[in-house]
């Protein structure tokens, strides 16, 4: 991992590229994308478990 100084350099570059006002919008977009990704993973896991149950014939109806 990087040191504290490297994180400051990255932060300064991000502020210069996007501007200080765009950082909250960018953080919000990243948070929403993460939430949608986790939701998709959970749905895929549920579908996989359901298809496993169907193939075993143990699905409760």
Residue-wise pLDDT tens digits, 8-59? 999 899 889 988 888 899 889 999 999 999 999 988 887 776 666 666 665 5
* 57 within some domain: no
pLDDT of residue 20: 86
pLDDT of residue 58: 57
Give dist(CA 46, CA 8) in Å, integer: 41
Give me the number of domains the chain comprises: 1
Q: Which domain holds residue 33?
A: 14-47
* 25 within some domain: yes
Residue with tokens 């990087």: 2
pLDDT of residue 37: 95
CB 39 within 8 A of CB 46: no
* 31 within some domain: yes
Q: What number of CA atoms fall less than 13 Å from residue 21's CA on the CB side? A: 0
pLDDT of residue 23: 85
28: its two tokens? 């919000």
* 6 within some domain: no
* 43 within some domain: yes
* 26 within some domain: yes
């Amino acid at each position: 991992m990087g040191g504290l100084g490297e994180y400051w350099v990255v932060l300064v570059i991000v502020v210069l590229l996007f501007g200080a006002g765009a950082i909250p919008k960018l953080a919000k977009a990243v948070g929403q994308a993460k939430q949608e990704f986790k939701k998709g993973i959970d749905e895929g896991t549920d579908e996989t478990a359901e298809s496993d149950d169907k193939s075993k014939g143990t699905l409760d109806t």
